[in-house]
């Protein structure tokens, strides 16, 4: 699975691929391939001469909205290419098999085939819902600071035509470093939501995550609690705008953003409403265990192998969380994993990519690295109920019934149970048929399909959101 579990956006390739040394002019140009890591991710290398007798390169991961990534060191001998990415515990090795093809493999927590083709133009995917100017409303790029000026935020605010003041909302992204549009596989989800809701009479503020785009700060050392503070600063900014109805400010959060929205709403008295789009409503460790099983099932894993996933996942996570020392965690998880593997058939091990000791070791190292991050340690211990039960504002909670990241049948009852204990007098919990985690109308309903679908978000889902807001807020 991908590094962070609520959003694709948890980058598998997050930084650069190294500069190419002596290789000949055949390697100068743009190379594109597709990496299959459960989902398909396009990888692009741009190789040029560095003016010093060598070569330089940058990398793009268009489906993760990562462009112009600087490369580190690359060794090329004859037609063999070896690229080491030590900061990512990753590498690429390949062979130039003709003037237009590099055949190789990418290694990071497992080994994945990667065939690169030389191209003049990187392929673009159709995204017909992405709004394009001229807009039927005012769109303004803005910058503002938090209360102590330690952080600056880059954002876009969209304001309806006509005389205000208007109700307003902050959009909150899911996990992983996201831009203000929550761009996933070239789907600009928040731009589409903002466009729809602004046309319906709502001011919408969408914001670059800290450390992304125009926002300062370090995303890598931050937790959901830090992101909640960022959202609160964005609410303060809305309060400074004369166009905003100060009594009708809300939060709309997707995935992890739907976890953060209740955190902020319980800490402030001026939040009138929240909308939770696949926001978690049960303990995160339980949700993730179900998620891993659902994703594996969508990939064709047998029922026998599926039975192994949840108990192994919980044992591994528990062992990692019991210590902050990586070496100890690796030792403890290795013992658990090898004991488990010794008792399983070769067929099950092959299905779960645990067939060899190296596969298991790579998995353990990647798990420990990711799960011992500040974000994950906070995230995995989180129980959304503690905040949802304290809500006093209006609430709309939505889940797609085909969501394999936040499982609707598990999640929505948890949200509803907590809301019944809250002070919220107006709330609605609703399952939307045929929709995935991004609220797309899906067919295969796999992670890989996110990028294959032209639809960014279901028009029916947009209508449910705006109808509820118009009825309860305007």
Which tokens belong to 38? Answer: 């459960």
Q: Identify whether residues 276 and 247 lie together within a single domain.
A: yes
Q: Identify whether residues 33 and 111 lie together within a single domain.
A: yes
For residue 214, what pLDDT is reported?
96
For residue 25, what pLDDT is reported?
62
Q: Examine residue 124 and state whether it is found in any structural domain, yes or no.
A: no
Q: Examine residue 151 and state whether it is found in any structural domain, yes or no.
A: yes
Distance CA 447, CA 8 (A): 8
Q: Identify whether residues 351 and 269 lie together within a single domain.
A: no
Q: Could you tell me which residues are beta bridge partners of residue 155?
A: 142, 207
For residue 13, what pLDDT is reported?
28
Q: What is the DSSP string of 257-284?
A: HHHHHHHHHHH-S-EEEEEEES---S-H
Range of the domain at 106: 25-119
Q: Identify whether residues 355 and 391 lie together within a single domain.
A: no
Q: Examine residue 279 and state whether it is found in any structural domain, yes or no.
A: yes
Q: Identify whether residues 251 and 152 lie together within a single domain.
A: yes
Q: Identify whether residues 409 and 313 lie together within a single domain.
A: no
Q: Identify whether residues 142 and 265 lie together within a single domain.
A: yes
Of the candidates 359, 379, 399, which is a domain's last residue? 379
Q: Identify whether residues 206 and 323 lie together within a single domain.
A: no
Query: Residue 65 maps to which CATH number?
Result: 2.40.128.120
Q: Identify whether residues 313 and 327 lie together within a single domain.
A: yes
Query: Residue 204 maps to which CATH number?
Result: 3.40.50.1820
Q: Examine residue 10 and state whether it is found in any structural domain, yes or no.
A: no
For residue 18, what pLDDT is reported?
29
Query: What average pLDDT values come out for the chain (474 residues) when binned by 10 residues?
Result: 31 29 62 83 81 74 74 75 69 87 82 90 89 97 97 98 95 94 94 98 97 93 97 98 98 98 98 98 95 90 93 93 94 95 94 90 88 92 97 98 97 98 98 98 93 96 98 96
Q: Identify whether residues 206 and 192 lie together within a single domain.
A: yes
For residue 223, what pLDDT is reported?
96
What are the angstrom distances between the C-alpha of 413 and each of 4, 149, 281, 409, 416?
24, 41, 8, 7, 5
Q: Identify whether residues 185 and 200 lie together within a single domain.
A: yes
Q: What is the DSSP string of 314-348?
A: HHHHHHHHT-S-HHHHHHHHHHHHHHHHHTS-HHH
For residue 41, what pLDDT is reported?
84
Strands (E), 330-474: 394-400, 427-432
Region for 182 from its dihedrals, namely left if φ exceeds 0, alpha if ψ lies in -120 to 50, beta otherwise: left
Which tokens belong to 169? Answer: 């909302």
Total structural domains within the chain:
3
Q: Identify whether residues 273 and 338 lie together within a single domain.
A: no
For residue 89, what pLDDT is reported?
64
**pTM as predicted:** 0.85
């Amino acid at each position: 699975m991908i590094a962070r579990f609520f959003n694709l956006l948890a980058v598998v390739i997050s930084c650069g691929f190294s500069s190419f040394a002596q290789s000949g002019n055949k390697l100068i140009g743009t190379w594109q391939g597709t990496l299959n890591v459960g989902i398909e991710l396009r990888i692009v290398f741009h190789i040029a001469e560095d003016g010093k007798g060598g070569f330089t390169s940058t990398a793009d991961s268009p489906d993760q909205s990562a462009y112009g990534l600087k490369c580190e060191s690359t060794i090329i001998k004859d037609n063999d290419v070896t690229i080491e990415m030590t900061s990512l515990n990753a590498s690429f090795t390949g062979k130039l098999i003709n003037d237009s093809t590099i055949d190789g493999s990418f290694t990071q927590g497992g080994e994945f085939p990667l065939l690169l083709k030389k191209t003049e133009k990187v392929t673009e995917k159709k995204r017909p819902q992405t709004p394009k100017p001229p807009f039927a409303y005012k769109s303004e790029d803005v910058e503002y600071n938090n209360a102590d000026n330690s952080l600056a935020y880059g954002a876009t605010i969209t304001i309806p035509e006509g005389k205000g003041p208007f109700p307003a909302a902050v959009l909150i992204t899911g996990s992983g470093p996201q831009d203000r549009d929550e761009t996933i596989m070239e789907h600009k989800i928040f731009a589409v939501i903002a466009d729809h809701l602004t046309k319906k009479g709502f001011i919408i503020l969408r914001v670059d995550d800290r450390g992304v785009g125009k926002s300062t700060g370090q995303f890598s050392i931050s937790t959901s609690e830090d992101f909640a503070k960022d959202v609160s600063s964005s609410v303060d900014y809305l309060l400074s705008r004369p166009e905003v109805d100060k009594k009708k400010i809300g939060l709309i959060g997707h995935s992890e953003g739907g976890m953060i929205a209740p955190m902020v709403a319980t800490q402030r008295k001026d939040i009138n409403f929240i909308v939770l789009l696949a926001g978690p409503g049960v303990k995160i460790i339980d949700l993730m265990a179900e998620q891993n099983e659902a994703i594996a099932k969508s990939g064709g894993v047998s029922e026998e192998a599926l039975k192994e996933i949840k108990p192994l996942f919980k044992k591994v996570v528990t062992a990692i969380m019991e210590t902050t020392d990586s070496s100890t965690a690796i030792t403890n998880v290795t013992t658990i994993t090898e004991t488990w593997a010794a008792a399983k058939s070769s067929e099950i091990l092959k299905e779960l990519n645990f067939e060899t000791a190296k596969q298991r070791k790579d998995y353990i190292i990647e798990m420990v690295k990711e799960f011992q991050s500040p974000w994950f340690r906070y995230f995995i211990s989180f129980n959304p109920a503690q905040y949802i039960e304290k809500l006093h504002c209006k609430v709309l909670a939505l889940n797609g019934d085909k969501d394999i990241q936040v499982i609707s049948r598990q999640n929505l009852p948890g949200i509803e149970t907590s809301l019944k204990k809250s002070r919220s007098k107006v709330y609605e919990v609703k399952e939307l048929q045929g929709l995935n985690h991004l609220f797309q109308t899906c067919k295969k309903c796999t992670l890989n399909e996110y990028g294959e679908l032209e639809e960014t978000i279901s028009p029916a889902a947009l209508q449910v959101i705006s109808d509820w807001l118009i009825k309860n807020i305007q």
